[in-house]
Amino acid sequence: TGGPDWEVKLGRLDSLTASQEDSDNIMPSPRANASTLIDLFQRFNLTVKDLVALSGSHSIGKGRCFSIMFRLYNQSGSGKPDPAIDPDFRLELNKLCPLDVDQNKTGNLDSTPVIFDNQYFKDLVGGRGFLNSDQTLFTYPRTKG
């Protein structure tokens, strides 16, 4: 991927089992706004700087259409798309995730999804964040700069 590498010890230290319910309770929602994300991270003694840095992991990977349908078609219950989305990017997302799509279909979290780089942050500056929880980092004063 072009990013740094280092050895990591394998195994979980936080739990002996996996739980969907526990995961749902501690993982940020793709719909979360920056204030909610900050509060969640603070519960784990993580700072705003940690939040922004860890969100950079979205430089690699994909997200499901399920995670962005509200942004495209009913942001904040308005019946309209999220105004923070770049209009050209919104058209791309509308093609990827039309209303009748299998919501498990996936799209890239940034424009260089297999390269570990800073394109994720450049995409946010351009209004091209895939997830609301990503784009909100650029529009919220405490995380923007």
- Which domains occur in the chain, in start order? 31-144 (1.10.420.10)
State yes or no: 141 annotated in a binding site.
no
Is 58 annotated as a binding-site member? yes
Q: What are phi and psi of 107, to 5 degrees?
A: -135, 160
Cross-strand partners of 64? 106
How does residue 19 score in pLDDT terms, banded at 50, 70 and 90? confident
Looking at residue 20, what is its pLDDT? 76
> For 61-117, how does the pLDDT look when each residue is reduced to its tens digit (9 = 90+)?
999 999 999 999 999 888 999 999 999 999 999 999 999 999 999 999 999 999 999
Share of the chain above pLDDT 70, in %: 96
pTM here is 0.83
Rounded to whole angstroms, the Cα distance separating 89 from 54 reads 24
Is 110 annotated for ligand binding?
Answer: yes
Is 28 annotated as a binding-site member?
Answer: yes
Hey, is 103 helix, strand or coil? Answer: coil
Determine whether the annotation assigns residue 117 to a binding site.
Answer: yes
